[in-house]
Amino acid sequence: MIRTIQADDITNLVEKLCIEANCNLTEDIFICLNNCRSKEKSSLGKEILGTLIENAEIAKSETSPICQDTGMAVVFVTIGQDVHIEGQLLEKAVNEGVRRGYEKGYLRKSVVKDPLDRVNTKDNTPAVIHYDIVEGNTFNIVVAPKGFGSENMSQLRMLKPSQGIEGVKDFVLNTISEAGANPCPPIIVGIGIGGTMEKSAYLSKKALLRPVSEHNENSMLAQLEAELLESINSLGIGPAGFGGTTTALSVNILTYPTHIAGLPVSVNIGCHATRHAEGNL
């Protein structure tokens, strides 16, 4: 059954989600930070985790940004093939929502129009928008503002198939080790394996959206996530890079079929906040 959605409703939803994502730490991450604080072996690390928790509480109560870097808006749109958008183009509706959200929420505007001439667009548009067409007439949006302290530490590697799972582990651990304190640990590690170069990068970004309290549905991948999380936390980077046993909160892996000659692997690092907010129409 065809369902019509007004573009203005999409704009209003995106506006709301931009502010919510930047000011409200998701419940799963908040709980995880508290749990990690109780287990952290470093006294300084425990203190830093306490500060991060207090910062999140203040940000929520005052509707102020969790971090001064309010990121580039990454938007995941899941739209049923039986949905009709009325009013204006979907892309324009999303970007108008970002524009209003960053203006009304007093969020820092960090996007430049061209990557080389570096002139600020002054409204944090355009967003990076990913579309997923599904059956039915559902409409779902996730707004995930991505700060570049963590984004700059992300990496992609085209491994040889012969390097296998050990090659994947080595690449992930080297990436986190090189990142050190830069992505504001404790981090969430999104890993995309398979597909093509750009597909693996997309998977790694999308993997960051999975709640840290959930395990991978694939038992082999769940085991790999657990092994990597233990290894990462053994690096000793710790909260804010000052040492400790809590370097990462979660490792989330997504995979996709790939070519017989390839093993693309991407690591997208999310900071301790890994901000995102979700809504439906």
The pLDDT tens digits for 54-67 are: 999 999 999 999 99
Q: In the chain, which ranges are continuous DSSP H helix?
A: 7-23, 27-39, 43-62, 90-104, 148-151, 164-179, 197-207, 219-233
**Per-residue pLDDT tens for 125-167?**
999 999 999 999 999 999 999 999 999 999 999 999 999 999 9
Residues 161, 131: contact at Cβ < 8 Å? no
What is the reported pTM?
0.94
Q: Which residue matches tokens 């892309």?
A: 91
Chain segment 107-126, per-residue pLDDT in tens: 999 999 999 999 999 999 99
Q: Residues 14-42: what's their mean pLDDT?
A: 96
CB 255 within 8 A of CB 145: no
- Average pLDDT, integer, range 168-174: 97
The reported pLDDT for the residue numbered 220 is: 96
- Look at residue 1 in the predicted model and tell me its pLDDT: 85
In angstroms, rounded to a whole number, what is the distance separating the alpha carbons of residues 61 and 233?
Answer: 31
Q: What is the mean pLDDT of residues 188-195?
A: 98
CB 230 within 8 A of CB 223: no
Residue 252 has φ and ψ, to the nearest 5°, of -120, 125
